[in-house]
Chains A and B, each alone.
Chain A
Amino acid sequence: METSAGIQRSRSPAVVVDGPRLGPDTALAVREAWSALWTSRLLVWAAGILGVIWFGRVPGTEGLDYGGLSSSFSPFGNLLVAPAARWDSAWYLLLARDGYAHSPDHMKAAFYPLYPLLMHAGGWIVGSQLVAGILISLACLLAALVLLYRLAAIELGAAHARSTVLLVAFSPAAFFLSAVYTEGLFLLLSVGAILAARQGRWAWAGIAGGLAALTRNSGIVVLVPLLVLFLYGPRGDRPAAAPRSWWRPRYALTRQALWLVLVPTGLVLFLAYCAVEFHDALAPFHVQHLWFRHTELLGGVTGGASAAWNELRELVTAKGPLSFTRGGTGPFYIAGQSLMLFGFLVFALVALVGVLRRLPLAYGAYVACALVLTLSSPVAMQPLASLPRYIVVLFPLQMWLAQWCDERGRLERTVGISAVLLGIMTAQFARWGFVA
C-alpha cells in the first residue's frame, strides 16, 4: 500500500528557475507590438512581392539602384528584398559601404549618419549591409511599437494603446518602417524620448533625442515636445504647480533640463563632421536644393492643393485614354500621386486639430512643428513629395485617430481602409514607383 507520503514523494515539485521577468504591462506591450508587427510585415512583404511580379518594374528605373547595391542577391533574393530596398535605400547602402567620401556635390550630406552607421556595424555581423539594414528597421519598429504602447497606455489607456499600435503598423505608408530607410529607427528614438520625458527620465530623453537628431534632418524637432513636457508636463516624476495662468510653466527649470541639450548636440556633431568632410558645416541644409526643395512658408499646403486641383481637372476633362500600357510612365501617373498626397495632407491637418484638442500640449506642439517644417520645404515638381513618409512617424496623429475610432466603434473599418492603401502603396514602392 502506498502511503500518502509516498504519493507526495512521487509528485516531485518542478524545479522553477526564476530569471529576470518582464512586468505584466511590458509583457502585454511586447505581445501587442509583436502581433501587430508580424501580421503587418507579412502582408507588406506579400503586397510588395506581388507588386513586383504583377505590375512589373517601372521602366527606366534601373539607374536608381546605384552600384546595384539593393539587388546584389539571386533573382529570388532580390525579389524578397524588394519591399524594403528602393529609392533612398540605395543612398543608405552607399553610405554604409563608403561613408561620406566620393560625394563631389555633397548630395550625401542630405542623409544623416546614425542609420548607415548601424548598417555598417550590422554588416560585419550578418555579412550583408542590406540584410542588416532590414533587420535594424524591423527591430527598431518592434521596440518602437512596444514603447508606443506604453506611452499611449499612459495617456489614453490600454484599449486605445492597442488600437494606436495597430493603426501605426497598418498605416498607408507603414512599409517605410521596415524598409532600408530611417523611419523605423526615428520612430523608436522619438517615441523613446517622449516616453522617457513623460516618466521624468531626462537623461534617457536627452540621449534618445540626440540620437534622433543624428538620424534625420527633422530629428531636432523632438526637442520641442521634450521642452514642453519639461515645463508644462504632464510628467510622471513630480507633481505640477498649481496653474496661475495657462501660459505660465507648471514646472520650474532645474538642472535636469540640461540633459535636453543633448538633442541639439546630436545635430551639432553631424554639422561639425560636415565642416571637416565637406568644408561646409551647413552642407545638409545647402544640398536641399539638389533635391529640388526650397523654403516657402507652408508652400506645401498651397502648392499641394493647387497641384491636386489642377490634376483633378485634367483627369476630368481629359480627351485621350486615361490608362496606358507601360506602368508608371504615363502623364496621369502624376495625377494619381498628387491626389493621393493631397489626401495625406488633409488627414494630417484634420488629425493635428484632433491632437491639439485631445492630447497634452507637447504632442500637438511636436506634430505642428514637424508639419510646419515639412510643409515649408516643398519640392518644386511635386510640392507634397514624401509627405506620407514624413507623417508616418508622427505617432500622436495615430494616438488621436485610435481614440477617435474607438469612441465611435470604427477601428476595424479604419484599419481596413488604411490597409487597402498600404497594399497598393507597398506594391508601387516595391516596383520602384515613387510614392513618398
Chain B
Amino acid sequence: MSARPATSNAAVVVEGPRLSAGAQRALREAWSALWTSRAIVWTAGILGVLWFGRVPNSERFDLVGVTHGTTAFNDLLAAPAARWDAVWYLAIARDGYHHDPNTLRDAFYPLYPLLIHVGNWVLGSRMLVAILISLGCFLVALALLYRLTELELGAEDARSTLLLLAFFPSAFIFSAIYTESLFLLLSVGAFLAARQGRWAWAGIAGGLAALTRNSGIVVLVPLLVLFLYGPRTDREPDVTSGPRWRPRYRLSRQLLWLALVPLGLAAFLGFSAITFHDAFVPFHVERLWYRHFQLLGGVTGGAKAAWHTLRDLVDSKGPAYDPGSGGVALHFAGQDLVLFGFLVFALVGFAGVLRRLPLAYGAYVGVALLGTLSYPSTVQPLESFPRYMVVLFPLQMWLARWCGERGRVARAVGISGVLLGVLAAQWSRWALVL
C-alpha cells in the first residue's frame, strides 16, 4: 500500500509570468546604477542650493510658479529636477499649447507633457508625476541599454556602459523634468527592437521618439541602416558579398513599420497646422531661442568661444572670481570651456563608435551630432550640447569598451563623477549649465 505521507505536504507553487535570467540581470544592473547615481545627484543638487545659493534674480525664471513645491523643504527636494525647461513642460502639461503661434513653448514636443498631464490625474501633482516618469523611463532605458550592449559587446561592457551613462557629467538631466530619459528609453528601445528584428516595436518606439523632441526623427537613420545592413538577429543576410555599400538585406514589407517614425513628427506638425495654422511652427520658433542654421557652426563657434574666453581668463586684470555668485562674465568663461570639453569628447567618441561598433551606431551619432552642431545658439554656440549628447548612448558603449580594455572604468567613472557633482550643483541653483 502506498500512502502519501501526511506530514510532507508539497508546497503549492503558483507559476506566474517570470522575467528571464537575462532580463533580471539587466534590471538588477539598471537599478543599482540608477539608485546610486540618483542618490548622489540629489545630494549634490541640494548641497549646491544650500552651499552656493540661488543665482541672483532666479525668481524670474519661473514666473508661472509651476516648479514651486508646497513647502520650502519640498522646493529644496525638487531643486535637482525642476529647473529651466521644466517650467515649460509643466506649463504645457497644465495649460496645453497657446493658440497664438510662434510662442516659445511651441518648440517643445508634446509626448512628455502629455504623459505628465495624464499622470496628474492619478497622483495629483504634476511635478511629482514628471519626476517619477523621468526616473521610471531612465530605469527601463538602462535595462534595455544593458540588453543592447550585451548583444554588441558582452556583459562586462554592458555593466560599464550603464555606470558611465548614469554618472556622466550631464546625467543629472535624466531625473529632471526634461525629455532626456523618455527619449533615451524610446531611442534605445527602437534600436534594440530593430536589432532583434521586431520592426513593429522599432517603428512604434521611433514614432514616439519623434513626438518627444525635435531631434527624435533622427532615430529613423539607424533603424534604416539596421534594416538594410544589419546586424539583425531575425534572419541571415540575403547578400553576403559585394561592395560595402550594397545592402545585406533585401527590402521587405516590414520596412513599412519604420514609416511610423516620420509619422510621429507628421502628427505633431499636423496638430500645429490645425492649432496654429502653420505646420512648421516648431521649426520657426527656433529663432526665438536664438538658434540658426550654420553647417557645423557649433564646432567653429564653440572652439572660438572657448579660445577667446580662455584668453580673457589668462589676461584678466581683475580678480578671476565674483564676490557674489553667478551672473558675471567669467561665469561664461567656465561654461565655454566646459562645453568645448564636451565637444572634444563627443568628436573623439564618435570616431571610436565608427571604428568599434556596427555602422548603425556611428550613423546615428554622426547624424545627431551634425544636426545639433549645425544649429548653434547666437548667445553661446554650444549651448545645451551636454544635454543633447548625453542621450547618444553609443558614445558610452564605445567608452565602456575602450576603458574596459585598459582597466580604466573606475577611473573614468570617477572623472565623470567629479564633473557631475559640480554641474548638478550649478544647475540646481538655477544656473544654466546646459
| Residues of A participating in the B interface, judged by any CB pair closer than 8 Å | 35-36, 39-40, 42-44, 46-47, 49-57, 59, 75-76, 78-79, 82, 163, 166, 169-170, 315-330, 332-333, 335-337, 340, 410-413, 415-424, 426-428, 431, 433
Q: Provide the bound-state CA to CA distance between A137 and B390, in Å.
A: 36
Contact of B418 with A420 in the complex, beta carbons under 8 Å: yes
Across-interface contacts of A55 in B (CB, < 8 A) = 51-52, 325-326, 425-426
A189 to chain B: closest CB distance in Å? 26
Take A40-B414, A322-B50 as given contacts and tell me if A431 and B321 are in contact as well, using a CB distance cutoff of 8 Å: yes
User: Does B328 make an interface contact (CB < 8 A)?
Assistant: yes
Contact of A54 with B51 in the complex, beta carbons under 8 Å: no
A307 to chain B: closest CB distance in Å? 15
Contact of B413 with A415 in the complex, beta carbons under 8 Å: yes
Contact of A325 with B54 in the complex, beta carbons under 8 Å: yes
Contact of A420 with B326 in the complex, beta carbons under 8 Å: no
Take A319-B72, A413-B163, A420-B40 as given contacts and tell me if A327 and B413 are in contact as well, using a CB distance cutoff of 8 Å: no
Q: Provide the bound-state CA to CA distance between A153 and B312, in Å.
A: 47
Question: In this complex, which of A169, A327, A330, A411 has the most chain B Cβ atoms within 10 angstroms of its Cβ?
Answer: A327
Q: Provide the bound-state CA to CA distance between A316 and B76, in Å.
A: 9
Across-interface contacts of B48 in A (CB, < 8 A) = 424
A409 to chain B: closest CB distance in Å? 8
B82 to chain A: closest CB distance in Å? 13
Q: A75-B318, A412-B409, A419-B418 are in contact. List 11 more A-B contacts (CB 8 A).
A: A54-B331, A54-B334, A56-B324, A75-B319, A79-B321, A166-B411, A323-B54, A416-B414, A416-B416, A419-B417, A433-B51
The interface size bin for chain B is: 35 or more
Take A56-B324, A57-B322, A416-B167 as given contacts and tell me if A329 and B53 are in contact as well, using a CB distance cutoff of 8 Å: yes
Pick the residue among B79, B335, B417 that contacts A423 (CB under 8 A).
B417
User: Does B233 make an interface contact (CB < 8 A)?
Assistant: no
Take A56-B328, A325-B54, A329-B53 as given contacts and tell me if A420 and B424 are in contact as well, using a CB distance cutoff of 8 Å: yes
Across-interface contacts of A54 in B (CB, < 8 A) = 325-326, 331, 334-335, 422, 426, 431
Chain B residue nearest to A421 (CB atoms) is: B421
Question: In this complex, which of A42, A327, A416 has the most chain B Cβ atoms within 10 angstroms of its Cβ?
Answer: A416
A336 to chain B: closest CB distance in Å? 3
Contact of B322 with A315 in the complex, beta carbons under 8 Å: no
Provide the main secondary structure of the chain A interface: helix
B198 to chain A: closest CB distance in Å? 31
Contact of B56 with A325 in the complex, beta carbons under 8 Å: yes
User: Does B419 make an interface contact (CB < 8 A)?
Assistant: yes
Across-interface contacts of A340 in B (CB, < 8 A) = 47
Contact of A51 with B422 in the complex, beta carbons under 8 Å: yes
Contact of A428 with B51 in the complex, beta carbons under 8 Å: yes
Proximity string of chain B (22-48) to chain A, C-beta cutoff 8 Å, 1 when within and 0 when not: 000000000011001101110110111
Pick the residue among A35, A327, A422 that contacts B324 (CB under 8 A).
A327
B176 to chain A: closest CB distance in Å? 16
User: Does B234 make an interface contact (CB < 8 A)?
Assistant: no
Across-interface contacts of A337 in B (CB, < 8 A) = 51
Q: Provide the bound-state CA to CA distance between A340 and B43, in Å.
A: 9
Across-interface contacts of A335 in B (CB, < 8 A) = 50
Q: Provide the bound-state CA to CA distance between A422 and B319, in Å.
A: 25
Take A423-B417, A423-B421 as given contacts and tell me if A318 and B73 are in contact as well, using a CB distance cutoff of 8 Å: yes
Across-interface contacts of A410 in B (CB, < 8 A) = 32
Take A49-B334, A56-B328, A323-B53 as given contacts and tell me if A416 and B37 are in contact as well, using a CB distance cutoff of 8 Å: yes
A186 to chain B: closest CB distance in Å? 23
Chain A residue nearest to B327 (CB atoms) is: A56
Take A422-B421, A424-B47 as given contacts and tell me if A327 and B52 are in contact as well, using a CB distance cutoff of 8 Å: yes
User: Does B420 make an interface contact (CB < 8 A)?
Assistant: yes
Contact of B73 with A322 in the complex, beta carbons under 8 Å: yes
Chain B residue nearest to A175 (CB atoms) is: B418
Pick the residue among B47, B316, B318, B424 that contacts A336 (CB under 8 A).
B47
Take A78-B319, A79-B313, A421-B43 as given contacts and tell me if A39 and B414 are in contact as well, using a CB distance cutoff of 8 Å: yes
Pick the residue among B37, B52, B335, B421 that contacts A47 (CB under 8 A).
B421
Across-interface contacts of A424 in B (CB, < 8 A) = 44, 47-48, 51, 421-422, 424-425
Contact of A420 with B41 in the complex, beta carbons under 8 Å: yes
Chain A residue nearest to B160 (CB atoms) is: A412
B161 to chain A: closest CB distance in Å? 11
Proximity string of chain B (301-332) to chain A, C-beta cutoff 8 Å, 1 when within and 0 when not: 00000000000011111111111111010110
B145 to chain A: closest CB distance in Å? 16
Q: Provide the bound-state CA to CA distance between A43 and B33, in Å.
A: 22
Across-interface contacts of B415 in A (CB, < 8 A) = 39, 42-43, 419
Provide 26 A-B residue pairs closer than 8 Å at the C-beta atoms, listed in order of the A residue. A53-B331, A54-B331, A54-B426, A57-B322, A76-B313, A76-B314, A163-B410, A166-B414, A169-B414, A318-B73, A324-B54, A325-B55, A333-B50, A336-B47, A412-B163, A413-B33, A417-B39, A417-B417, A419-B415, A419-B421, A420-B43, A420-B418, A420-B420, A422-B418, A423-B418, A426-B418
